[in-house]
Amino acid sequence: MKTETTASPAKKSKVADPVRASIDEATQTMLRRAQELGIDTVFDRAENMKQCNIGTQGTCCKNCGMGPCRLPLPKSGIEGEDERKGLCGASANTIAARNFIRMIAGGAAAHSDHGRGVAEVFLSVARNQSQDYKIKDYAKLVAIAPYFDVATTVSADGETVDRDLGEIALEVGEKALAEWGKSEGELRYLKRAPAMLYEKWKKNGVLPRNIDREIVEIMHRTHIGVDQDYKNLMKQGTRAAIADGWGGSMLATDLQDVLFGTPYPLQSEANLGVMKADHVNLVIHGHEPILSEMIVAVAQKPEMHDYAKSKGAKGIQLSGICCTANEVLQRHGVPQCGTFLQQELAIITGACDAMVVDIQCIFQNVANVANCFHTKLITTHPIARMEQENVIHIEFDEHHAMEDAERIVKMAIDNFANRGSDVMIPKQKGIQIAGFGVEAIQYHLGGTFRGSYYTLNDNIINGRIRGIAGVVGCNNARTRHNEGHIQVVKELIKNDVIVLTTGCNGIACAMEGLLASESAGVFCGPGLAEICETVGIPPVLHMGSCVDNSRILLAATEVVKAGGLGNDISDLPAAGSAPEWMSEKAISIGHYFVASGVYTVFGVGLPVTGAPVFQKYLFEAFEKLYGGMWDLEVDPVKHARKMIAHIDKKRKALGIDKARERTLVDMAARRDIASA
Ligand code: BF8
């Protein structure tokens, strides 16, 4: 560790209690280490900075220079008319709805701009302008082509023959990129949704026209003096969220699969213990796989290994943080060294020779922490730079992708020799099986001959599987790291609910061993355990990064198509959850889950509680419009039980509630089952 610089150690500041801050031992160990070294982390900062009480209620308006106008809910609640208003007269409902849909705009923009970046690289590859990438999954290209009205066959001499794949790729790339800004029509992927859901969107007037327009319109409508009706504001919020889930995110997922390969299950590991003291540790962090795919390829080159050996290392250990980690995990098995809240800790090991970041969820403080060690912190994206002087910027360009990746990997190797003696890598890591895309689930839980989710549906109908939960999202320093994630997921699988996971929930589950097949026999109710053990899958299926929540939408659509469980996603015994959410992206995801018919529960808190009428609209009235609705539950066990209650309500409506005993399995009951 360098002694001349510190990461702003505020001697009189409070420090976090490691055990109260995280359930994870590796995190606790590294937090103690940081405190010994006088380096502050997000956990300590959360002790020293209180949240704004009015902001957390969603009722602070700073959309014009007369504000901020602050409308806290009176302690005694509202009796009679709610007379609170801002200087312009904006009601609490208007302010909370404006803030809420601005969060949707932020989240949808982040996912969709990522998608646009992928579409641009895809098109450049299709035009043979980026030689370092090759299309890896032509079968998926041919599968998605019809959604773009791109022909996959042509007539030649009276016969129908397959069309040239390069031509298909070019046309798909052009039409995909047009989805962001076309002047007419609606998003092409909307028709992938169940017909009933599409009709609901149409009836409610929320079919997105193009991706960018829906985001821009939110910014316009929430400007002072424009839309002042919370229901009308939410209509636009819904349209933008659908444009994210069934547009920008889904396009990102599909084009990444075509370009880099569709994920299939593979084994890997997760937590800080994946870093190796005798290897060059290169940590990749952020969200886009465009650069990280290239880094994975370069790090595997024999000449790079030889170069690393020539510098005294035994090899190169790549590992990931956040959704870049999920991307390279699901396609290459690259281990994850942590979730969102562990990014500073990876550097505090003293063994991180370089951290390469692209976009989203990157703390600016990683630069301050890196400054305390030998770690090279490299930003790579033109829209995501840092002001600190120790940060190196290597702007990544797909036209010379390999060259950029080689420069970065070499920089990490060259830095190995500069490591100090104060290396401390915690030993904890979990084994995981990841990479369950829609196609892989069909293979493992589908009908061999029918090519559908028939077998999964059959097991839901007979009650072995009680229902499906999508548990996703971030960590949040305002709540104990990973506790919500793990308790919610354990409660669900204990009660035979199969879990689909993405984002930091996926990493948290991997760290706890819940993505290992063996976990089925330990943590699941008898029905789910039987299925998982028979098929050889974990009870928690890792479906990828946060843009890959679109895979959850498509998996749910496949379940509807396979039959026997209703005609719409809202008919399914299914629920969504983000126990430790923190980002605007999570709000956009939550809202497109809701608008797709999914009952969705968030933990931590939601910035709607200061406007009870607006909150009721989201939590109750939305069900009548779309079949899904929001809910908030901070207690993880109650959170899971609310989801299970909703699943049981749907089972009853489908008439399949008699197929299983409708009791929650507690630990005593599990012990009885185990000893029987
Ligand atoms: O996009 S889950 S903390 S890493 S925002 Fe960020 Fe949240 Fe993690 Fe991935 Ni998603």
Atom of ligand 1 nearest to the CA of 503: 2
CA 573 – ligand 1 centroid, Å? 26
Which residue of 360, 478, 504, 552 sits with most ligand 1 atoms within 8 Å of its CB, as the best mutation to test the pocket? 504
Q: What pLDDT does 78 receive? A: 86
Give residue for tokens 């009308």: 232
Q: What pLDDT does 447 receive? A: 64
CA 340 – ligand 1 centroid, Å? 7
Cβ contact 297:261 at 8 Å: no
Assigned domain for 19 exists:
no
CB atoms within 10 A of CB 672: 11
CB-based pocket (< 6 A), ligand 1: 287, 322-323, 340, 361, 473-474, 503-504, 545-546, 583, 585-586
Give the residues of the chain that fall short of pLDDT 50: 3-6, 10, 662, 670, 673-676
CA 503 – ligand 1 centroid, Å? 5
Percent of the chain with pLDDT over 90: 89
The domain that holds 527 is classified in CATH as: 3.40.50.2030
Assigned domain for 43 exists:
no
Do residues 336 and 462 share a domain?
no
Which residue of 340, 502, 543, 602 sits with most ligand 1 atoms within 8 Å of its CB, as the best mutation to test the pocket? 340
Cβ contact 493:525 at 8 Å: yes
Cβ contact 494:670 at 8 Å: yes
- For residue 343, what are the domain limits? 272-418
Do residues 377 and 457 share a domain?
no
Do residues 354 and 491 share a domain?
no
The domain that holds 116 is classified in CATH as: 1.20.1270.30
The number of domains in the chain is: 3
Q: Count the helix, strand and coil residues of the chain and give each as a percent rounded to the nearest 5.
A: 50, 10, 40
Looking at the DSSP bridge assignments, the partners of residue 468 are: 498, 574
Which residue of 344, 546, 547 sits with most ligand 1 atoms within 8 Å of its CB, as the best mutation to test the pocket? 546
Do residues 515 and 649 share a domain?
yes
Assigned domain for 44 exists:
no
The three-state (H, E, C) secondary structure of 312-340, written as one string: CCCCEEEEEEHHHHHHHHHHHCCCEEECH
CA 631 – ligand 1 centroid, Å? 20
Assigned domain for 671 exists:
no
Single out the residue of 288, 283, 281, 284 nearest to residue 260, CA to CA. Answer: 288
Assigned domain for 425 exists:
no
Atom of ligand 1 nearest to the CA of 472: 2
